[in-house]
Structure 1
Amino acid sequence: MTTRSQVLDRTVAQAMSGLSATAKKGLGDPALAELVMIRASQLNHCAFCLGMHLSLARKHGVSELQLDLLSAWEEAEDVFDERERAALALTEAVTVLTDGFVPDEVYERAARHFDDVRLAHLIGLVVAINNWNRVMVSRRIPPGGYTP
């Protein structure tokens, strides 16, 4: 019998890791990448990914204040700059897709802060972390197992 922890094939994990690494590198801002991945993981209730990306965010210099207030980033106007806020809005829109699409104003807001290539990498990063969240939640992988 297959256990939940055996569900992900090594080749699938490598492909997902490749997308994650490429998108993060192409975004060019590791601290912002971690904020994006944490926010998506909060929305998806992925404890494993939250633990991992909170640890990585601290290593990339994300402030404790930003980490503490990330779930309320829209209200914490002085804590996140406009570029970060645009990325977080796009992260939420791509993650939730409640209307079946990303609203034009959210996309256009992000496009004002990211050129076409970086915007593509940002969207790729959001897609990648959403994939990881769904895999880890489906497998019920508990937090704390990540080691750099």
Structure 2
Amino acid sequence: AHFAIGILDDAGGDDHYYADMNMAQGAGHDFSLGFLVERAGNDVYDAPNLSLGGGNANGIGLFWDFAGDDTYNVSAATTFGRANNGPRGGLRDFIRGLGLFIDTGGNDAYPAAYAFAGNNKMWTQRGANEDEPLPLTELGAGVDTEAALP
């Protein structure tokens, strides 16, 4: 969606989230806000590009899994709280794009191909286009902690 808000708030259960199209599972695109909150359960996430707290084209993507031993399967890099505003040198360089990934509680499994993210790790990233100069308005971050919230 463009210029929109999408929120999924799940109270619990062992869920399997599957998406095969971009912009899913807590992703924000083109001045939109996407927010996925998963409160409990041992969940499986099969996610495409631009998902799991990914921010794209000045969107804000937020993902928070509160608890459980979760499994993450992803097919591209703009996931796990990464951001990508697009080609450099345009007006988008001056407008915030944000990706945020949080997983609290549990022992989680991440794909080895994306070593920047993992169980009991913190990471930051300013942009998916890492070969180009990065604008300060393109921010991405993630944290996975085995500690549960009180």
Compare the two structures and name the one with the higher helix fraction. Answer: 1
| Bigger strand share | 2
Asked which structure has the greater CA Rg, the reply is 1
Give the TM-score taking structure 2 as reference length.
0.21
